Structure 1
Amino acid sequence: MSITFEYATQADLPTITAIYNQSIPGRLATADLEPVSVASKQAWFNEFNPKSRPIWLMKDGDTIAGWVSLESFYGRPAYVHTTEISIYIDERYRHHGLGQKALNFVFSQLTDLDIDTLVAFVFHHNLPSIGLFKKNGFETWGHLPDVADMGDRLRSLDILGRRFK
Structure 2
Amino acid sequence: MTDVTIRPATPADIPSITRIYAHAVQNGTATFELEPPDEAEMTRRMTALLDGDFPYLAAEIGGSFAGYAYAGLYRPRPAYRFTVEDSIYIDPTARRRGVGRALLKRLIEECERTGFRQMIAVIGDSAQTPSIEVHRALGFRHVGNVENVGFKFGRWLDTVLMQRDLGPGATTKP
- How many angstroms does 1:51 deviate by? 7.6
Q: Deviations for 1:21-52, whole angstroms, at most 9, x for unmatched residues? A: 12123333111223321123232112122883
**Regions of 4+ moved over 6 Å:** none
Over the matched positions of the two proteins, sequence identity in percent amounts to: 27
Partners of 2:96 and 2:110 in 1: how far apart? 24
Partners of 2:129 and 2:52 in 1: how far apart? 32
Partners of 1:73 and 1:42 in 2: how far apart? 20
Q: When the two structures are superposed, what TM-score results if normalisation uses the length of structure 1?
A: 0.90
Q: Contact 1:118/1:161 (CA < 8 Å) preserved in 2? A: yes
Q: Contact 1:27/1:150 (CA < 8 Å) preserved in 2? A: no
Aligned-residue RMSD, C-alpha: 1.8
Q: Which residue of 2 aligns with 1:107?
A: 108
Match of 1:133 among 135, 157, 160: 135
Which runs of 5 or more residues in structure 1 are unaligned?
none
- Which stretch shows the higher mean deviation, 153-162 or 72-81? 72-81
Partners of 2:82 and 2:29 in 1: how far apart? 28
SS of the aligned residue for 2:25 comes to coil
- 2:50 is aligned with 1:49: yes
Q: When the two structures are superposed, what TM-score results if normalisation uses the length of structure 2?
A: 0.86
Partners of 1:14 and 1:96 in 2: how far apart? 22
Which runs of 5 or more residues in structure 2 are unaligned?
169-174
Q: Which residue of 1 aligns with 2:151?
A: 149
SS of the aligned residue for 1:92 comes to helix
Q: Which residue of 1 aligns with 2:59?
A: 58
Q: Contact 1:19/1:89 (CA < 8 Å) preserved in 2? A: yes
